[in-house]
């Protein structure tokens, strides 16, 4: 199935099973804004907890805060967002659609990369086992030509972005003959800069109202609280501050479901270090963050690092962890060495001294910062898109059946177990409720007695419940139940009294956290 079709199915599945709904859907929705439903919110909360515990519990020198969304407007002047948080946009005069110029060019490069991939695939089929992909890519003239084309466009684009050369960005679009995906024409406007911050007013009178912004990142809430936390928490450098919270960006090209939203959530950690040690810490955090992702078992080859060619105004090194989404490898998390830029700027604009006296160095300095910044919603998408599996099952009599199963890592699964009476009569329902009421203090449990047991299993598979407990007539005699495993569909008979222990071991976050310790 084409990956586009898979992606559409995942979006439809997320809606059908209460993971994600379009915002204000009864009014036809609001562009790139989404709500998490009854299943989605559980998964989201579990991801947050996995991140938070891995930062704050596992690291003695990382602590957390929860700062306000509204901040003093000067914060955004100091941080550079008022002047430089821009995207280059271009409009197609026929379709009236607006695009990010760099995204149009990147999509064009991706098309060339796809051609290379197709050549490789064809050759692999032709040569069979003896195929040497690296050698083929080094010597095949068509592949070399495509490679040269892609590299040339990429380096022109990077140079134009680095030099803020908007005219050159437009020239690349024209030279590459990029057409509007909607109108199919090449009738483009000039490229202009567009600030991504949402502004609103605080205060009651028009005259006295203060223009404030909805924060476009959570990081600044950490920077302006650096002194508060360092002093009241008696923190010694190196130390980090973690935060999870909403961020808002007026994205021009808001698409790909929850990949790019206008209101989203970030999980960010700023790690304060002595000047000169930042690149060492940058490497360490890159490694730690990759380990955190891989511990989930979604597939090691679905992650890769991508080093930034264009550095943000505040950074001296930056990499993304990219994930293989249904629409290709894209940024999931950023790891940035932000130098002392932010704290120095806040020191300058606020007039307050923001420094640390380092007893080991016997000197005061503005700390340097390594940031790890991950989008909670993108993390959610990485999990649901790799969990979504369609399976054809063959029954004993040779007939077949289909199931959709969400292979969500058990520790993050929205519902950990469902308790199902085989039939409603003979006291089985009451017994099942009793078991569920005992287990609900430990896990998120569901009770379901409607429809056939097969249909109930499918409903739980569709939301990723790792364990289904079936209560049958034998339960009434010997107090045992069957545990049915989501992934293998195997069943096992176990004492009802031992369920809490069996399930805890398999679904606890502790197991995941131990992998990354």
Q: List interacting residues with ligand ATP (CB under 6 A).
A: 217, 249, 251, 260-261, 264, 266, 331-334, 373-375, 377-378
Q: Whole-number minimum distance, CB 464 to ligand ATP, in Å?
A: 22
Q: Whole-number minimum distance, CB 460 to ligand ATP, in Å?
A: 29
**Is beta strand 98-100 parallel, antiparallel or unpaired with respect to 86-91?**
antiparallel
Helix, strand and coil percent figures for the chain, each rounded to 5: 45, 25, 30
Of 378 and 416, CB closest to ligand ATP? 378
Half-sphere exposure of 416 (CA within 13 A, CB side): 21
Query: Which residues fall within 8 angstroms of residue 368, CB to CB, at 6 or more apart?
Result: 272, 273, 274, 275, 276, 277, 278, 337, 338, 339, 340
Of 45 and 500, CB closest to ligand ATP? 45
What are the CA-CA distances from residue 412 to residues 4, 58, 132, 144, 221 (Å)?
26, 18, 40, 44, 28
Of 278 and 371, CB closest to ligand ATP? 371
Of 219 and 229, CB closest to ligand ATP? 219
CA distance 491 to 240: 45
Of 106 and 449, CB closest to ligand ATP? 106
Say if residues 480 and 461 touch (Cβ distance below 8 Å): no
Element (H, E) at 36: strand 34-36
The token pair that represents 507 in the structure block: 């679904």
Q: Whole-number minimum distance, CB 426 to ligand ATP, in Å?
A: 51
| Residue sitting closest to ligand ATP (CB) | 375
Q: Whole-number minimum distance, CB 323 to ligand ATP, in Å?
A: 9
CA distance 89 to 192: 5
Of 136 and 329, CB closest to ligand ATP? 329
Q: Whole-number minimum distance, CB 374 to ligand ATP, in Å?
A: 5
The token pair that represents 22 in the structure block: 């379009």
β partners of residue 62: 240
Of 103 and 120, CB closest to ligand ATP? 103
Q: Whole-number minimum distance, CB 108 to ligand ATP, in Å?
A: 17
Q: Whole-number minimum distance, CB 44 to ligand ATP, in Å?
A: 13
């Amino acid at each position: 199935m084409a990956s586009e079709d898979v992606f559409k199915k995942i979006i439809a599945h997320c809606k059908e099973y209460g993971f994600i709904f379009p915002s204000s859907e009864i009014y036809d929705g609001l562009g790139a804004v989404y709500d998490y439903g009854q299943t989605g919110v559980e998964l989201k909360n579990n991801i947050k907890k996995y991140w938070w515990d891995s930062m704050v519990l596992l690291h003695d020198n990382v602590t957390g805060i929860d700062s306000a969304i509204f901040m003093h407007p000067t914060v955004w002047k100091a941080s550079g967002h008022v002047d430089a948080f821009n995207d280059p946009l271009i409009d197609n005069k026929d379709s009236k659609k607006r695009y990010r110029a760099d995204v149009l060019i990147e999509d064009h490069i991706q098309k060339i990369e796809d051609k290379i991939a197709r050549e490789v695939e064809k050759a692999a089929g032709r040569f069979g086992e003896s195929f040497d992909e690296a050698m083929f890519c080094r010597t095949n003239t068509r592949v070399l030509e495509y490679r040269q084309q892609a590299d040339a466009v990429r380096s022109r684009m990077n140079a134009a972005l680095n030099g803020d050369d908007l005219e050159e960005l437009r020239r690349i679009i024209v030279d590459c003959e990029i057409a509007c995906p909607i109108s199919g024409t090449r009738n483009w406007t000039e490229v202009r800069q567009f600030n991504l911050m949402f502004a609103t007013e605080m205060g009651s009178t028009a005259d006295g109202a203060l223009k404030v912004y909805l924060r476009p990142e959570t990081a600044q809430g950490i920077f302006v609280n650096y002194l508060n936390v360092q002093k009241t928490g008696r923190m010694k450098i190196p130390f980090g501050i973690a935060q999870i919270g909403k961020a808002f960006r007026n994205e021009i090209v808001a698409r790909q479901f929850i990949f790019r939203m206008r209101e989203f959530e970030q999980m960010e950690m700023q790690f304060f270090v002595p000047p000169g040690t930042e690149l060492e810490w940058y490497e360490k955090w890159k490694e730690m963050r990759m380990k955190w992702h891989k511990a989930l078992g979604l597939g090691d080859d679905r992650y890769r690092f991508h080093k930034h060619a264009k550095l943000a105004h505040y950074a001296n090194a930056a990499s993304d962890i990219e994930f293989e989404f249904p629409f290709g490898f894209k940024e999931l998390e950023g790891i940035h060495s932000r130098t002392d830029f932010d704290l120095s700027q806040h020191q300058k604009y606020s007039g307050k001294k923001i420094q640390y006296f380092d007893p080991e160095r016997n000197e005061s300095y503005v700390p340097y910062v390594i940031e790890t910044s991950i989008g909670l919603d993108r993390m959610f998408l990485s999990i649901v898109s790799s969990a979504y599996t369609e399976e054809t099952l063959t029954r004993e009599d040779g007939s077949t059946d289909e199931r959709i199963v969400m292979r969500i890592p058990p520790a993050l699964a929205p519902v950990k177990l469902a308790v199902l009476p085989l039939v409603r009569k003979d006291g089985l329902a009451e017994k099942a409720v009793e078991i569920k009421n005992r287990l609900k203090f430990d896990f998120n449990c569901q009770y379901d007695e409607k429809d056939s047991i097969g249909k109930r299993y499918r409903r739980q598979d569709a939301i990723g419940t790792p364990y289904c407990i079936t209560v049958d007539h034998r339960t009434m005699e010997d107090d045992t139940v069957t545990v049915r495993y989501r992934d293998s569909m195997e069943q096992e008979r176990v004492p009802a009294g031992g369920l809490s222990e069996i399930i805890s071991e398999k679904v606890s976050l502790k197991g995941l956290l131990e992998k990354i310790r």
